[in-house]
Amino acid sequence: MQKLTYRDALKQALTDAMREQPDIFIIGEEVGRYGGAYGVTKGLIEEFGAERLLDTPISEPAIIGTAVGAAMAGMRPVAELMYVDFIGMTMDQLCNQAAKIRYMFGGQIGVPMVLRTQGGTGRSAGAQHSQSLEAYVMHTPGLRLAMPATVYDAYHLLRQALTQPDPVVFIEHKSLYTMSEEVDLTVPPPDWGKAVVHRRGKDVVVVTYSRQLHHVMDAAEELAKSGIELTVIDLRTLNPLDFETIRAEVESVGKVMVVSEGAMTAGVAAELSARITEECFDFLEEPVIRVAGEDIPISVSASLEKNSVPSPEFVCKVARKMLA
């Protein structure tokens, strides 16, 4: 067992993978000498050199375009976007090129790259640096999407992402970087694309991912004091999506809440709710409830920011209402 932060686990995953695979390199703004916007790549340039940690101009299309070309040529790039909010500037390179290459070339070539980026609230970073845009990625066929919630998964999901034959968008929640856990990284992780059930209860199934896992677990502890027991599922990856685990728990319990930090309208929670309703309808005792972010820009005000996304208190309130 060792105590690691989320940030350190990501750094360890990159270090271990780069030692094993000489075709891996990191490219992005300030990833080399500065060590990355959130310090994940700090110190790696001393071991791997400037040829494998490429500092770039401030041009997200250039970063992703270079990574796509390098991946097609046989390398395995890790491209870092400082914030997921900037993913819109890379939509041609990422969604029209990286996501489509394997299909358009009849499977003869892929784009084995990882796009690391940061999303979510909690740092008072304002409306242009605090969004949860995973629905953009989930909506695009050809892109894989991982969103680790724990230190253990930060390490193992990144290691697994660096073995995939197709592009993986890897979104790290910016409020988790300093979270620390006692972990044993030698314990085999779940398979790529497999969800984890963190606790089981008889009353409500809660499907969630990323930082909201911790809010839901806090809510579950509080609700348990009054006899309400939640089943909590951490999806870990949104593409591939482990719907079989969701189905099994829904069929057992019958009441479902989906919790996401992304905006309510046309978001991940909406997609999951629709699919659960379609495929598990005969087992549902009532409609699936979405708990998601407000359909508003994120405020720089800490109090307004906090109240624009789900909190443990709100999850508790919804669970109690579902059981009233």
Give backbone dihedrals phi and psi of 199, rounded to 5 degrees, phi first.
Answer: -160, 155
User: What SS3 state is found at 19?
Assistant: helix
Q: Point out the catalytic residue in the list 30, 46, 47, 129.
A: 129
Q: Report the alpha-carbon distance of residue 274 to residue 271 in Å, rounded.
A: 5
Q: Report the alpha-carbon distance of residue 208 to residue 231 in Å, rounded.
A: 11
The structure tokens listed for 250 are 């829904």
Helix/strand number for the chain, H first, E second:
12, 14
User: Do residues 206 and 230 make contact, with C-beta atoms less than 8 angstroms apart?
Assistant: yes
Residue 173 known to be catalytic: no
Q: Report the alpha-carbon distance of residue 318 to residue 291 in Å, rounded.
A: 8
Q: Point out the catalytic residue in the list 20, 30, 46, 60.
A: 60
SS3 content of the chain, % helix, strand, coil (to 5): 40, 20, 40
Looking up tokens 């390490």, which residue turns up?
155
User: Do residues 257 and 322 make contact, with C-beta atoms less than 8 angstroms apart?
Assistant: yes
First to last CA, the chain: 43
Sign of the torsion angle spanned by Cα atoms 45, 51, 56, 61:
negative
User: Do residues 224 and 216 make contact, with C-beta atoms less than 8 angstroms apart?
Assistant: no
The structure tokens listed for 78 are 């890790």
Residue 215 known to be catalytic: no
Q: What is the DSSP code (8-state) at residue 84? A: G
CA distances from 289 to 51, 172, 286, 292 (A): 49, 25, 9, 10
CA distances from 149 to 103, 181, 182, 213, 264 (A): 31, 12, 14, 7, 20
Catalytic residues: 60, 129
